[in-house]
Amino acid sequence: MPQKDLDDADGHSEPAQMSDVGHSHSDVSGGWLRAAAFGAMDGLVSNTALIAGVAAAESAHATVVSGIAGLLAGAFSMALGEYTSVTTANEQIDSEVHVERRAFRTRQEAEREELVAMLMRMGMTEATARAATEEIHRDENKAIGFHLVQEIGVDPAQKPSARLAATSSFAMFAIGALIPLLPYLLGYGSLVPGLLCGGIGLMVAGGLTAPFTRRPIWWAALRQLAFGAIAVAATYLVGLLVASLI
């Protein structure tokens, strides 16, 4: 292959293609996947527990109204919370980029020496570290990103989307919260079918997280069911207690 085909605009050679390393990584940046998983789990647990607590003391009609209200309130709350949380985190990253950019422009030599020291701690010789630093510092944006990854473990180019996190959280909470309500909406005015649906939903939601965490499906499913059962049982007992006192 001609050498000119391997050279970029700056005259530096790059590999013709990425090597197949035999594995890939999941997104661990805390974006939509975390929001969706948390939304689904929270919707299932909170609304199943809410329905159990209300059903312990009230009629099926009151349980349905409470469940729908819990679904809407929880979904909007989760979405707004996710949007605010992710936006605030992204703004903090932008602030760190500003600090690093200012240092890059006003204290260039100190930033170079800092990067040389970091690369040497990673195992490079001083000569290799200085050569790599010169290469990295040729592009200001890439250099700032590299510094931030090494210094605070955050890549400013990989910020999660606040809108996507909020949307996925809203949708998954609503779906999760709807599952224990389905028997009531279909005319079964009893708590047992709702608890069964909620339990199945918890196991399915837990199992779906297994491929991302590389845990056994049965372990993830049973863990989520156990956590949900504790919350539901506690809420049901509190509902009985409140009903006996009022």
Closest CA to 161 of 45, 29, 56, 49: 29
User: What's the pTM value of the predicted model, to 2 decimals?
Assistant: 0.70
Structure tokens at 90: 């992204």
pLDDT of residue 170: 92
Number of domains in the chain: 1
Q: Identify whether 15 is part of a domain.
A: no
Is residue 71 a part of any domain in this protein?
yes
Measured from the Cβ of residue 33, the count of other Cβ atoms closer than 10 Å reads 18
Q: Does a structural domain hold residue 169?
A: yes
Cβ 147 vs Cβ 111: under 8 Å: yes
pLDDT of res. 30 = 53
> Residue 65 is part of which domain span?
31-245
Residue 14 counted as domain residue: no
pLDDT at position 29 is 52
Residue 21 inside a domain? The answer is no
Q: Is residue 10 part of a domain?
A: no
SS3 228: helix
pLDDT for res 32:
66
Intervals of the chain under pLDDT 70: 1-33
Within-domain flag for 55: yes
Q: Does residue 12 lie within any of the structural domains? A: no
Express each pLDDT in 162-204 by its tens digit.
899 899 989 989 998 898 899 888 888 788 888 899 889 889 8
